[in-house]
């Protein structure tokens, strides 16, 4: 009789262990959705801060779909590269948890206006305040011109209030993320290259391609590296022209690093258009203008990875 009870006990334990193992596996593989603000990139992973929750580590893979939602009802999605996933960008992520408690991203979506705000914040601009001011002016004009359409005006006011509340909720997280990244406070600079351009030119000259390929090779030997590419222009010409030139120069350098240097998109930040900010020499001389027409590429590594906090 005792032997029979022992056999039954062992069988019950085996069933409980099998059930527990299955539960853990289901929990690890279950579909998960989060919404928050990107506050860090490190190699093929990034961290996302949700309001009232700790950071979530998100793993990017070759099958991760990145899209910008379009249309009034956000019904369409425009495919975007992973370089668009920059610190300060609010995102919606769907995926599954792996055994390291990382969220393996299946889809990542964001709004185009949020991407522009994050990129402008990285460049030291303040588009959010300008957008709010523009909306307020438009609402005031509508009140004066369409006095009979009070219902429509109230709807616009409600939409503006909702946007202001969203900005207020994310302002602290976005500002903190971009300030840390802009000042490189959490990153070590492990390599740097500067590419110069002719007046009005956006083509990378052959002598600089060799420097970029050497920098790319150096980066591949660094754990969890990220490449930051920032384009600049001299102050000659209009501000709009210089902003466009700085953007196209940064994109040209990024193309060399990705296509010829074989740098994965998961290890690239979106090219930064810095315009005429951070001039390194006076634009009053041709020599100074030449120094300011540049793209700076930096190899970054999170201090948490290198253990240098």
Nearest-angstrom CA–CA distance, 207 and 115:
33
- Provide mean pLDDT across the span 176-183: 44
Long-range pairs for 129-132: beta carbons < 8 A, 24 or more residues apart? 132/160, 132/163, 132/164, 132/167
Kindly state the average pLDDT of the residues 265-272. Answer: 88
Residues 269 and 112: their CA atoms lie apart, in Å, by 17
The per-residue pLDDT for range 285-295, each reduced to its tens digit, is 888 888 899 99
What's the predicted TM-score (pTM) here?
Answer: 0.51
**In this predicted structure, what is the pLDDT of residue 186?**
78
Q: Which domains does the chain have, with CATH numbers?
A: 1-132+173-183 (2.40.50.140), 187-306 (3.30.1330.60)
Sheet with 272-273: strands ordered across: 187-196, 294-302, 225-231, 272-273
Q: What residues are paired with 294 via a beta bridge?
A: 196
pLDDT in tens, 70-120: 776 666 888 999 888 989 899 999 999 999 989 999 999 999 888 888 887
Name the band, by pLDDT with cuts 50, 70 and 90, for residue 124. low
DSSP for residue 1: -
Q: Find the range with the poorest average confidence among 57-61, 89-93, 132-136.
A: 132-136
């Amino acid at each position: 009789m005792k032997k029979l009870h022992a056999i039954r006990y062992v069988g019950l334990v085996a069933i409980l262990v099998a059930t527990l193992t299955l539960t853990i596996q289901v929990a690890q593989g279950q579909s998960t959705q989060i919404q928050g603000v990107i506050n860090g990139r490190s190699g093929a992973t990034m961290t996302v801060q949700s309001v009232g929750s700790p950071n979530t580590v998100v793993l990017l893979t070759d099958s991760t779909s990145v899209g910008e939602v379009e249309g009034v009802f956000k019904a369409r999605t425009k495919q975007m590269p992973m370089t668009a996933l920059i610190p300060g960008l609010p995102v919606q992520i769907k995926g599954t948890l792996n055994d390291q408690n990382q969220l393996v991203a299946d889809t990542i979506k964001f709004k185009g206006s949020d991407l522009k705000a994050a990129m402008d914040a990285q460049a030291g601009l303040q588009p959010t305040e300008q957008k709010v001011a523009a909306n307020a002016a438009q609402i005031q004009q509508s009140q004066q011109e369409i006095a009979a359409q009070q219902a429509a005006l109230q709807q616009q006011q409600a939409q503006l209030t909702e946007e202001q509340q969203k900005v207020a909720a994310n302002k602290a997280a976005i500002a903190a993320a971009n300030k840390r990244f802009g000042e490189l406070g959490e990153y070590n600079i492990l390599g740097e290259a500067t590419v110069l351009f002719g007046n009005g030119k956006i083509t990378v000259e052959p002598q600089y391609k060799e420097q970029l390929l050497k920098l790319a090779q150096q980066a591949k030997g660094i754990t969890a590296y990220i490449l930051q590419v920032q384009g600049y222009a001299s102050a000659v010409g209009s501000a709009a022209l210089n902003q466009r030139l700085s953007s196209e120069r940064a994109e040209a350098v990024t193309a060399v690093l990705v296509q010829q240097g074989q740098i994965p998109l998961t290890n690239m930040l979106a090219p930064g258009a810095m315009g005429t900010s951070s001039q390194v020499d006076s634009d009053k001389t041709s020599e100074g203008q030449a120094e300011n027409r540049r793209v700076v590429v930096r190899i970054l590594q999170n201090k948490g990875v290198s253990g240098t906090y």
